[in-house]
Amino acid sequence: MATSTRPPSAGSTTELRPDRTARRRPKQNFETWSWYFMRVSGLVLLFLALLHFAVTHIINDVVETDAVFVEERWDNPVWRIFDWTLLALALLHGLNGLRWIIDDYVRSPAKRAAVKATIYTVSAVLFGYGTLVIVTFEAG
Amino acid sequence: MSPNSTVYRGKSGQWAFLFHRISGFLIFFFLLLHIVDVSLINVSHELYDEVHELYGNILLRLFECGLLFGLLYHSLNGLRIVLVDFFPEGVKDQRPLFWGVLFVTFAAGIPGSLVILWPWIDGNLL
């Protein structure tokens, strides 16, 4: 257990302060960064996603957000940047969350690899195509 | 739920965790679908408009209300998680914070849903 103050005996002979080994800060690995990323991106997404929803469902009725609406909105590069940031952060945040869910519930290594490969591929394709649409869109 | 079989022993934290997972999971798959429907604008504006019209349907409007509740809950509970993580003394307030999350979710979700459903309510009930 991480809360134990007694380190495991093996390997602790070279440790100068063996009683503190278990309390040492863990190394900054990928999971540490993914933990921070979820919190930071979550805070940004709170504003981006709720504002996006408000614009497309509350301030405007959903049927008004037709192709002409998109043309007018994407005429302004700030909205393109807004939409692309939302696309990128939401996909990464969702993908990382789904990765945690898959690790929790898909226990067989083969199935886990297959499910992850599928989800990552689909997300990468959609991210690439979504980016292309936002960048290359032209009115008319 | 058996008290010993779950991480948070079936108390409010267990539900906060479960709703967070379910809402996040569903929002992610809606996001994938939503990227596809918006991307149709690259194929043709007519196709985009044709598919997009479906969102005005009452069934999809109800779905959008669900999406609003999911987004609100996931955002606010995420904020609660961040608060508890970065201000460890806040752990003792996690339960009232959870009730606050539910309260604001409904306080914003109900009027928001009325706005979303209004064209249908206006045309069918009033």
What CATH architecture is B12-121?
A: Up-down Bundle (1.20)
pLDDT tens sequence across B24-67: 999 999 999 999 999 999 999 999 999 999 999 999 999 999 99
Using a CB–CB cut-off of 8 Å, the residues of B that contact A are 21, 24-25, 27-28, 31-32, 35-36, 38-39, 41-42, 45-46, 48-49, 52-53, 55-56, 61, 64, 67-68, 71-72, 75, 78-79, 81-82, 85-86, 112, 115-116, 118-119
Q: Do B35 and A126 touch (CB under 8 A)?
A: yes
Residue A10: pLDDT above 50? no
Go through the domains of chain A in sequence order and give each one's CATH number.
12-136 (1.20.1300.10)
Give the integer Cα–Cα distance in Å for B41 and B43: 5
Query: Which residues neighbour A94 within 8 Å (Cβ) at sequence distance 6 or greater?
Result: B24, B27, B28, B31
Q: How confident is the model at residue B110 (pLDDT cuts 50, 70, 90)?
A: very high
pLDDT computed for residue B63 by the predictor: 97
pLDDT tens sequence across A23-34: 667 678 999 999
> Which residue on chain A is closest to B24 by alpha carbon?
A94
pLDDT computed for residue A8 by the predictor: 42
pLDDT-above-70 percentage for chain A: 81
Average pLDDT, chain B: 91
Query: Which residues neighbour B122 within 8 Å (Cβ) at sequence distance 6 or greater?
Result: none
Tokens describing residue A31: 């999971």
Mean pLDDT of B1-23: 78
Tokens describing residue B113: 């849903």
Q: How confident is the model at residue B79 (pLDDT cuts 50, 70, 90)?
A: very high
Using a CB–CB cut-off of 8 Å, the residues of A that contact B are 39, 42-43, 45-46, 49-50, 53, 57-58, 61-63, 65-67, 70, 87, 90-91, 94-95, 97-98, 101, 122-123, 126-127, 129-130, 132-133, 136-137
pLDDT computed for residue B4 by the predictor: 52
Q: How confident is the model at residue B109 (pLDDT cuts 50, 70, 90)?
A: very high
Q: How confident is the model at residue B10 (pLDDT cuts 50, 70, 90)?
A: confident
pLDDT tens sequence across A36-93: 999 999 999 999 999 999 999 999 999 999 999 999 999 999 999 999 999 999 999 9
Query: Which residues neighbour A56 within 8 Å (Cβ) at sequence distance 6 or greater?
Result: A62, A65
pLDDT computed for residue A3 by the predictor: 39
DSSP reduced 3-state for B57: coil
Average pLDDT, chain A: 86
Mean pLDDT of A87-106: 97
pLDDT computed for residue B94 by the predictor: 87
